[in-house]
Amino acid sequence: MSEAARDSADIPKEERTASYPKAYTSALAWTFFLIPAALGIVGDQWLKLYSFPNPLPADSHDWIFAGRHPGVDPTTGVAQAPWPVIPNVLGFTTTINQGAVFGIGQGKVLWFLAFSVVALAIILWVFITSSAKHRVVHFALGLITAGAIGNLYDRAALHGVRDMLRFYVDWYPYIFNIADVLLCIGVPLLIIRWTFVKDDKPGKAPA
């Protein structure tokens, strides 16, 4: 064992973990956080603009007919099948969701706005207080930030979230967007990382 390794081994685990620089001092940590956040927001908003090229109807009751390919044909009132994006896997159909994930809490836009703002503050706090070596944490936080901001903008500007993607399976009838996908990847990734990766193992930098 080298002299440096022996010196490191003599330092208590708590001190070794605390000795890592914080994320806010690291350009690489900011890169792992901001790049997925920026790309996610751009991708989410681009698809939403493509899916809803025209302003939403003033009456929210008419939102069922909004978008490039709504679930109900606005001229006939007949239900329309989704356009295939990936045949037999993923389809395209537009709708406006005034609730949260899975349509929960329809119409409670102000509650969801407040929750989103608090969630973003917590995300920033977790990033700032994390170690500069926590690459997986920073990447997951970037995905979560993109998802939160993407849907926060819709709720603040439109009072409803623009959705357009749907799986061809009966057991999952919900329509979603890219922001939802990013949240569904980022949150489990963060949980798995915190659950299975230990930061204080000797000789290993945190992931």
Quick: pLDDT tens for 174-194: 999 999 999 999 999 999 999
- 108 or 50, higher pLDDT: 50
pLDDT at residue number 7: 46
202 found inside a domain? no
Percentage of residues in the chain with pLDDT exceeding 90? 66
> Whole-model pTM?
0.83
- 140 or 170, higher pLDDT: 140
Which of left, alpha, beta for 140 (phi over 0: left; psi -120 to 50: alpha)? alpha
160 found inside a domain? yes
Confidence of residue 106 (pLDDT cuts 50, 70, 90): low
pLDDT at residue number 134: 95
Tell me the mean pLDDT in the region 63-87.
93
Q: What's the domain count of the chain?
A: 1
DSSP conformational letter for 84: E
20 found inside a domain? no
DSSP conformational letter for 67: S
Question: Quick check: helix, strand or coil at residue 201?
Answer: coil
- Kindly report the average pLDDT of the chain as a whole number: 86
Rounded CA-CA distance 175/170 in Å is: 12
Confidence of residue 113 (pLDDT cuts 50, 70, 90): confident
Residue 4 has pLDDT above 50, yes or no: no
149 found inside a domain? yes
19 found inside a domain? no
Amino acid at the residue 90? L
How many CB atoms are located within 10 Å of the residue 34 CB?
15
Tell me the mean pLDDT in the region 2-27.
62
13 found inside a domain? no
Catalytic annotation, residues: 163, 180
Q: What tokens appear for 2 in the block?
A: 């080298």
Domain coverage including residue 37:
28-196
7 found inside a domain? no
Lowest model confidence (mean pLDDT) among 16-20, 61-65, 163-167:
16-20
Maximum alpha-carbon separation in the chain? 79
Residue 162 has pLDDT above 50, yes or no: yes
179 found inside a domain? yes
Tell me the mean pLDDT in the region 95-121.
74
